[in-house]
Amino acid sequence: MVAALRTTRWRLRVRGLVQGVGFRPHVYRLARALDLAGSVRNTADGATIEVEGGAESLAAFHRRLLAELPPVARIDTVAVDSMPAAGVSGFRIEPSQGGKRPEACVLPDLATCPACLAELFDPADRRYRYPFINCTHCGPRLSIISGLPYDRANTTMAGFRMCADCAREYADPADRRFHAQPNACPECGPQLAFLDAGGRSVAAREAALAEAVARLAAGDIVAVKGLGGFHLMADAGGGAAVERLRRRKHRPRKPLAVMAADLPMAEAVCRVSPDEAALLCSPQAPIVLLARRGGGLPEALAPGNPNLGVMLAYTPLHHLLLKALGRPLVATSGNLSDEPICAEETEAVARLAGIADGFLVHDRPIQRPVDDSVVQIAAGRPMLLRGGRGYAPLGLTRPEPGSPGVAVGAFLKDTVAVATRAHWVLGPHIGDLDSVKARDAFRRTLADLEALYGVVPRWVARDRHPDYPSSTAAEALGPPAILVQHHHAHVAAVMAEHGLHGEVLGVAWDGVGLGDDGAPWGGEFLRATRAGYRRVAAVRPFSMPGGDRAAREPWRCAAGLRFAAGLEPLDARGREAAGAAAATLVRMLERGVNSPVTTSVGRLFDAVASLLGLCHRSSFEGEAAMALQFQAERAGAGHGAYRFPLQAGERVAVLDWEPGLAALLADREAGAGVPVMAARFHGGLADALAAVARSEGLPRVVLGGGCFQNRHLLRLAVERLGRDGVHAFWPAQVPANDGGIALGQLAVACAQNAQGVDHVSGGAG
């Protein structure tokens, strides 16, 4: 070969998500294709490439490096230095630089890639129908990592010795499976087994798969061990199987997710927009909320709900199952009611006894349970509702380096987060902390994140509520606690996600969180920075007779709202809903016993849902508010809005619901349609939100809290703010609900630390 006339050497320092995603083989193939000499190696925060050759080849290398990235890799920055050529030949992949712990190296589990899928169904391929096929672009990561660095010995694949063929692929830089840590084949890798309801193994390999397919086709419920845990699966089209699953799982109405083999199967039962199709087919392969088609799957999958949570098969095992069945399957987390997902056979057989008729299992251990993520398109963009597989842990760059710490979240839908010196990492969905299992998972997840990211916390951020299990756990950890107000955390989470600094108007609408005055807040307007806030307006308070029970029994909220308006707490409908509890309730309200006064928009939704006869008792969180949202969406546009005027208050302005309530009751009296009344209620809240924004005059408004998962409310609010020239920010990658609180707590704690607020007195600085 003729040496180029003028060779130059470039050093490219790449930062981003470039480890464990097939980045080095990509660089290797590209350099070879362009006849460039040099090397690539992983570093603590990315990769360093040295290439030498002609100027044109180097420019082409730089261009194609970015343009032809492997599917999951992400480049944040490339710094290029030019230097004299060293006259080397050949291109090498060098061993990782040891020493410093890489911060950005924990990768999520990824759905089977198209290349592996093609091999799975190719009779000529040596991995034909092998349920554990994977490569550097797909397969398990987080769920099998037992330690760092990410090498096979530090995964649950350590016990499987690669055969000669697999070892050759693993060692060949030109192969798609170069350094694919879970690489395996039918000769050397994990295998399937089928266990009967009592946990006895009755079939193995292909026979195990065939048994599961036969059982599912016959209407049985089968617990299937997947990537990050067990699913309970059943024929989604079989009404009887779905009813049985609901009965056995004690889950009367909460929606059940469905798994489809591919996009056409999903499109046969739901309407799928291009954005939704992109989400379904992404390597993250989340559950996506889709509008169901009439005449599709049984109503019982999501009673009264026009949407259905659908995901596509994301492991080779799922592909084999669904291809054999040819129709969608219910795929709900293998757990009891709201407990964390099961990840291990013995535990699954014990805990799911009485629910599952059989178990399809395999011998690749799951190091940490990972639940499916849930996403919807809201106001034109993806919005994460539950962070798990593919999305968590979510890493963000910390605005200024500082001392490491942790945040423990709140109570419902809890997550935890850790701050390294340079990053924030939000962990996966854990669940409501009201079960022993969930509290165990909370402790495990926190310890796990600390270990993975090498965090030894100097401080612990927690909710102001002293009685949350997360708060008591935080106090027991040792380092000084930083108390963060719940709604400030909601606002700060959105600020952190969108990189906002300075002052914003924060609108935090949720169920309840403890306010500075000791009352349960939930309809808050805060002039907020990351470090602090001033409450400028809130929803007019009303009673929640029965306290926490009011959250599960919307009829109580309706009574509290009417009482606060000076009306009889229970009208004829209210008395019917209350039943035997009616007399006690009225006494409670009149004497102010066990009737905390709240500003919660979530409870306001509950009250209105009950007043409209949609839901008096909810079987899962958010049921009543969702029913109201679906009615409003049915109504379409052009129905006007109830009036929720802004009144001057003593210290904070008050968003008064009374005129709106009066109009709603008059509408109801006049026989107006429920969808129209629901639409007017939503419109009124969006108008009121925009009115507060106008009166505060800040150019940026942040929307946070579980109420903004309501995509009808979100869209109306964003439209109204947009018309006023206000820039609205809302959650996308971080849950709007309390699943985002931990990140907000980190953001507040770090901002306060950076401003020198002395939380860490006694610490060594």
Residue 587 is inside which H or E element, if any? helix 582-591
For the bound state, the minimum distance from the C-beta of residue 405 to Zn ion, rounded and expressed in Å, comes to 37
Are 416 and 427 a contacting pair, CB within 8 Å?
A: yes
CA distances from 138 to 263, 388, 478 (A): 19, 16, 40
- 120 touches Zn ion (CB under 5 A): no
Q: How far is the CB of 126 from Zn ion (least distance, A)?
A: 8
| Nearer residue to Zn ion within complex by CB, 107 or 565 | 107
Structure tokens at 140: 């398990």
**Which of 140, 596 has the CB closer to Zn ion?**
140
Out of 55, 163, 483, 582, which residue is the one contacting Zn ion (CB under 5 A)?
A: 163
- Residue 84: Cβ-neighbour burial (10 angstroms; 0-12, 13-18, 19+): exposed
Look at residue 188 and give the partner it binds from Fe ion, Zn ion, none, a contact being a CB closer than 5 to 8 Å depending on partner kind: Zn ion
Nearest to 557 by CA among 587, 515, 614, 595: 595
Q: Is 187 in the site for Zn ion (CB under 5 A)?
A: yes
Residue 187 is encoded by which pair of tokens? 């000769």
Q: Which does 324 bind (CB under 5 to 8 A by kind): Fe ion, Zn ion, none?
A: none
Taking CB under 5 A as the criterion, the residue among 36, 69, 105, 113 binding Zn ion is: 113
Contact 442, 416 (CB under 8 A): yes
Residue 149: cis peptide before it, omega within 30 degrees of 0? yes
Cα 740 to Cα 438, 582, 744: the distances in Å are: 17, 37, 7
Q: How far is the CB of 627 from Fe ion (least distance, A)?
A: 20
Among 110, 135, 383, 589, which residue sits at the site for Zn ion (rule: CB under 5 A)? 135
| Pick 428 or 744: Cβ nearer Fe ion | 744
Could you tell me the end-to-end alpha-carbon distance of the chain, in angstroms, rounded to an integer? 60
By CB under 5 A, which span of 78-86, 127-135, 238-246, 376-384 interacts with Zn ion? 127-135
Q: Phi, psi at residue 613, to the nearest 5°?
A: 75, 20
| Residue 524, contacted partner among Fe ion, Zn ion, none, CB below 5-8 A by kind | none
CB nearer Fe ion, residue 276 or residue 414: 414
Work out whether 50 is an interface residue with Fe ion (CB under 5 A): no
Which pair of tokens denotes residue 34? Answer: 């362009």
Contacts of 477 (CB under 8 A, 6+ apart): 406, 457, 460
Q: Answer with the entry of Zn ion, Fe ion, none that 664 interacts with (C-beta below 5 to 8 A by kind).
A: none
The candidate with the shortest Cα–Cα distance to 252, out of 549, 578, 618, 577, is 618
In eight-state DSSP terms, residue 250 is T
Nearer to Fe ion, 448 or 738 (CB): 738
Does position 166 bind Zn ion by CB under 5 A? yes
In the complex, minimum distance from the CB of residue 150 to Zn ion, in angstroms, rounded to a whole number:
17
Q: How far apart are CA 120 and CA 113, in angstroms?
A: 11
Distance CA 58, CA 11 (A): 11
Verify binding: residue 188, Zn ion, rule CB under 5 A.
yes
Which three-class secondary structure state does DSSP give residue 757? coil
State the DSSP string of 441-458: HHHHHHHHHHHHHT---S
Specify the stretch interacting with Zn ion by CB under 5 A; choose among 184-192, 298-306, 442-450, 712-720: 184-192
Return the one option of Fe ion, Zn ion, none that residue 135 interacts with (CB less than 5 to 8 A, by type).
Answer: Zn ion
Nearest to Fe ion of 231, 413 (CB atom): 413
- In the complex, what is the shortest distance from the CB of residue 521 to Fe ion, in angstroms, rounded to a whole number? 9
The residue range among 177-185, 448-456, 689-697, 712-720 that interacts with Zn ion, by the rule CB under 5 A, is 177-185
Residues in the interface with Zn ion (CB under 5 A) total 10
Least distance to Fe ion, CB of residue 713, Å: 15
Which of 188, 263 has the CB closer to Zn ion? 188
Dihedral pair phi/psi, residue 531, rounded to 5°: -85, -25
CB of 180 to Zn ion, least distance (A): 8
Nearer to Zn ion, 139 or 660 (CB): 139
Minimum CB separation of residue 494 from Fe ion in Å reads 12
Can residue 339 be called a binding residue for Fe ion (CB under 5 A)? Answer: no
Q: Which residue number, 120 or 385, has a Cβ lying nearer to Fe ion?
A: 385
Instruction: Return the range that interacts with Zn ion (CB under 5 A); candidates 157-165, 361-369, 488-496, 540-548.
Output: 157-165
Cα–Cα distance measured from residue 565 to residue 584, given in angstroms and rounded to the nearest whole number: 19
> Footprint of Fe ion on residues 699-758 (CB under 5 A)?
738
Nearer of residues 28 and 468 to Fe ion, judged by Cβ: 468
Applying CB under 5 A, which of residues 185, 285, 317, 741 lies at the interface with Zn ion? 185
CA 64 to chain centre: 33
Find which of Zn ion, Fe ion, none residue 166 binds, CB within 5 to 8 Å per kind.
Zn ion
C-alpha span between 53 and 36 (Å, rounded): 5
Under the binding rule (CB under 5 A), the answer on residue 40 touching Zn ion is no
> Which of the listed partners (Fe ion, Zn ion, none) does 116 bind, with a CB threshold of 5 to 8 Å by partner kind?
Zn ion
Q: Which is closer to Zn ion, CB of 135 or CB of 707?
A: 135
Which of residues 357 and 621 has its CB atom nearest to Fe ion in the complex?
A: 621
| Residue 379 interacts with which of Fe ion, Zn ion, none, CB < 5 to 8 Å by class | none
AA identity, residue 569: P
User: Residue 358, SS3?
Assistant: strand
The entry of Zn ion, Fe ion, none near residue 510 (CB within 5 to 8 angstroms by kind) is: Fe ion
By beta carbon distance, the residue nearest Fe ion is 510
* Shortest distance (Å) from residue 261 CB to Zn ion: 17
Nearest CB to Zn ion, comparing residues 38 and 190 = 190
CB of 231 to Zn ion, least distance (A): 21
H or E, element range at 210: helix 205-217
- The runs of H, that is alpha helices, within 593-736 are 601-611, 623-635, 658-669, 674-696, 711-723
CB half-sphere exposure, 230, CA atoms < 13 A: 30
Question: What does 49-86 look like in DSSP terms, one character per residue?
Answer: EEEEE-HHHHHHHHHHHHHT--TT-EEEEEEEEEEE--
Q: Which does 113 bind (CB under 5 to 8 A by kind): Fe ion, Zn ion, none?
A: Zn ion
- Does 687 engage in binding with Fe ion (CB under 5 A)? no
**Contacted by 738, from Fe ion, Zn ion, none: CB < 5 to 8 Å by type:** Fe ion
User: Count of residues for the chain?
Assistant: 765
Q: What is the DSSP letter of 581?
A: G
Tokens of residue 240, six digits = 């009887």
Q: Let me know if 467 is exposed, middle or buried by CB neighbors in 10 A (0-12, 13-18, 19+).
A: exposed
Which string of x and - marks every residue 495-524 that binds Fe ion (by CB under 5 A)? ---------------x--x-----------
Is-contact 192 208, C-beta < 8 A? yes
Q: Which among 301, 368, 361, 302 has a CA at the least distance from the CA of 341? A: 368
Q: Give me 521's structure tokens.
A: 């807040």
Q: Which C-beta is closer to Fe ion: that of 358 or that of 513?
A: 513
Q: Residues interacting with Fe ion, by CB under 5 A? A: 510, 513, 738
Q: Residues interacting with Zn ion, by CB under 5 A? A: 113, 116, 135, 137-138, 163, 166, 185, 187-188
